[in-house]
Amino acid sequence: MLGPLAAVVVGACGDGSKASDGQKEASRWLPLDGEGAWTWREDEAETPPDEATLLHGRDMGEGRIELRRGPRWADSEVVGGITFSVDDGIVLEALSLDDISMGAARPLAPAFVEEGSVVTDGTWRCTVALDEEIETFYAVFDQTLVSTCEGNQLPAGTWVFAEDMGLVAVFAGNRTLDLVAPW
C-alpha cells in the first residue's frame, strides 16, 4: 500500500475527518458506485474516433474498472483494468492495459483537496489543480480535479477527473485517454 510518508500527506479519511473551508472530498471526482461507464479514445485527434479502437471502461464494483477495446462493450475484448480506491483520497491501486502493468499503489490526490494539494510516496509526487477547464472529445469540463504526477514509474503524467463523472482524460507516458462518451 502507501508508504509512511504518503499516509501522513494523504491524511485520514476513515477517522471521521471532515473537509475544512476551501477543501472538497476527492471522492466527488471519482464516484465508484458499481454503475459507472466510460468510453475513451487513445489518440489526440479531433476527427471522429475509429470505433474498433475505442476503449470502454465499466465500474465492476470495489473500485475495479474493466477495460475492453472495440466498437461496443458487449462485443469488445477485455484488454485490462484499472483499480482505484477512494477511502484515503484517490489512489491508483493497479493498472493493466495491453503491455502496461502496474501493481503498486500510487496516490493521485489526498482525501480532502484544495488547490495545490500534494501527495507523495517515496519518489512519487502528485500536485492537484482544481476547476481547470479541460476539453475532451466528449465535452469541456470546468469542475475538475487535475493530478499532475512525477516519478520514475507508472503512471507518471496527468490524470483528469470531472466532478460526479470520474476519469475523463489521462496523459501518462506515451498513453492518452480522452473521453468520448460517459457510457
pLDDT for the residue numbered 102:
86
Q: Residue 115 falls within a domain, yes or no?
A: yes
**CA-to-CA distance for 85 and 64, rounded, in angstroms?**
9
Q: Residue 17 falls within a domain, yes or no?
A: no
Q: Residue 154 falls within a domain, yes or no?
A: yes
Average pLDDT over every residue of 21-49: 89
Average pLDDT across the chain, whole number: 86
8 A C-beta contact, residue 123 and residue 152? yes
Q: Residue 130 falls within a domain, yes or no?
A: yes
Q: Residue 18 falls within a domain, yes or no?
A: no
Residue 88 has pLDDT above 70, yes or no: yes
Q: Residue 171 falls within a domain, yes or no?
A: yes
Q: Residue 48 falls within a domain, yes or no?
A: yes
Determine what percent of the chain is predicted with pLDDT higher than 70.
88
Average pLDDT over every residue of 26-51: 91
CB atoms within 10 A of CB 61: 11
pTM: 0.86
Q: Residue 55 falls within a domain, yes or no?
A: yes
Question: Under the phi-then-psi rule, with left for phi > 0, alpha for psi from -120 to 50, and beta for the rest, what region is 48?
Answer: beta
The x, y and z cell numbers of residue 9, run together, are: 500527506
Non-local (6+) Cβ contacts of 72 within 8 A are: 56
Beta bridge partners of 119: 126
Average pLDDT over every residue of 81-99: 93
Tens of pLDDT, residues 100-120: 888 789 999 999 999 999 999
Residue 127 has pLDDT above 50, yes or no: yes
- Position 18 confidence tier, pLDDT thresholds 50, 70, 90: low
Total domains in the fold of the chain: 1
The SS3 call for residue 61 is: coil
The SS3 call for residue 66 is: strand
Structural domain range at position 76: 25-181
Tens of pLDDT, residues 134-169: 999 999 999 999 999 998 777 799 999 999 999 999
- Position 10 confidence tier, pLDDT thresholds 50, 70, 90: very low
Question: Under the phi-then-psi rule, with left for phi > 0, alpha for psi from -120 to 50, and beta for the rest, what region is 108?
Answer: alpha
